C-alpha cells in the first residue's frame, strides 16, 4: 500500500510502477521515486535562479573548462592569458580611445572592455574613435543592438572618443571616468 502511494506520487509512468510491483522489487521503486523527485527539484531550482546567477554559473563552468585545457597545453602564452580570467575591475572605468583597455584598478587605471549591463542583461559594446549622434534614443538601441552594421547609422567619427552602448543605455566618453560617478548606468565588470 505504501509503495503504491509513493509510486503514484513520484513516478510519471504507471507502467513502470506495475513492472516494479510485478518484479517484487520495492528498492528499485523507491530508488526511482527518489531520483524523479531530485530531478524535479533540480529543474525547479535552476529555472528559478536569477539570470545573473545563471551567468555566473556558466562563467564558472567555462573557467573550469579553460583551466583544464591549459593544464594539457604546454603553451605559456595560453597560461598567462588564463591567469587573468575571473578577475574583476575595481573600480570600473570607461574611457576614450586614448585610454588603454584591460582590468582596471586604482593603480592601473584602464577602461574595462568586458562590461555587462545588469538592467538589460546585454554585453556593452564599445567603438573606438566614434561618438553617438544626438538623435539616438532608447528604441534605436533596443532594436539594433548588437549589430554594428545597423548601429553605424548613428555613429559619428571623432578621434579620441569611445562610444559605449548596451540595449538600454549609451554613452560617449573622452576621458577616464569611474562608473560609480554615473548613477544612471547599470554596467558592471563581466570579469576578464
**pLDDT class for 34, splitting at 50, 70, 90?**
low
Distance, in Å, from the CA atom of 156 to the CA atom of 24, rounded to the nearest integer, reads 77
- 3 state DSSP class of 179: helix
Cβ atoms of 129 and 155 closer than 8 Å: no
Which residue carries 573550469 as its cell? 64
DSSP summary character for residue 111:
B
Chain segment 80-136, per-residue pLDDT in tens: 444 456 899 999 999 999 999 999 999 999 999 999 999 999 999 999 999 999 999
Distance, in Å, from the CA atom of 113 to the CA atom of 84, rounded to the nearest integer, reads 13
Which residue carries 567603438 as its cell? 127
pLDDT of residue 86: 82
Average pLDDT over residues 40-62: 50
Chain segment 154-170, per-residue pLDDT in tens: 999 999 999 999 999 99
Q: 15-24 long-range CB contacts below 8 Å, 24 or more apart?
A: none
- 3 state DSSP class of 170: strand
Q: Closest Cα to residue 94, out of 184, 180, 159, 176? A: 176
Q: Can you state the angle between helices 14-22 and 26-48, rounded to 10 degrees?
A: 150
pLDDT of residue 37: 54
Cα separation values, 28 from 3, 34, 38, 39, 174, Å: 11, 10, 15, 16, 67
Q: Omega into 146 within 30° of 0, i.e. cis?
A: yes
pLDDT cut 70: percent of the chain above it: 56
Cβ atoms of 114 and 101 closer than 8 Å: no
Entry pTM? 0.57
Q: Closest Cα to residue 94, out of 168, 163, 169, 191? A: 163
97 alpha-carbon distance from chain centroid: 25
Amino acid at each position: 500500500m505504501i509503495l503504491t502511494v509513493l509510486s503514484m506520487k513520484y513516478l510519471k509512468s504507471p507502467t513502470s510502477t506495475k513492472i516494479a510491483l510485478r518484479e517484487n522489487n520495492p528498492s528499485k521503486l523507491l530508488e526511482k521515486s527518489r531520483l524523479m523527485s531530485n530531478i524535479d527539484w533540480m529543474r525547479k531550482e535552476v529555472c528559478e535562479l536569477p539570470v545573473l546567477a545563471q551567468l555566473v554559473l556558466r562563467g564558472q563552468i567555462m573557467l573550469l573548462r579553460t583551466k583544464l585545457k591549459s593544464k594539457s597545453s604546454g603553451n605559456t602564452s595560453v597560461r598567462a592569458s588564463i591567469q587573468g580570467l575571473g578577475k574583476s575591475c575595481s573600480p570600473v572605468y570607461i574611457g576614450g580611445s586614448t585610454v588603454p583597455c584591460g582590468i582596471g584598478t586604482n593603480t592601473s587605471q584602464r577602461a574595462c572592455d568586458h562590461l555587462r549591463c545588469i538592467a538589460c542583461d546585454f554585453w556593452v559594446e564599445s567603438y573606438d574613435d566614434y561618438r553617438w549622434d544626438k538623435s539616438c534614443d532608447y528604441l534605436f538601441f533596443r532594436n539594433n543592438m548588437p549589430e554594428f552594421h545597423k548601429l553605424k547609422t548613428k555613429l559619428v567619427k571623432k578621434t579620441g572618443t569611445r562610444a559605449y552602448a548596451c540595449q538600454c543605455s549609451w554613452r560617449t566618453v573622452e576621458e577616464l571616468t569611474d562608473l560609480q560617478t554615473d548613477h544612471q548606468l547599470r554596467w558592471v565588470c563581466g570579469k576578464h
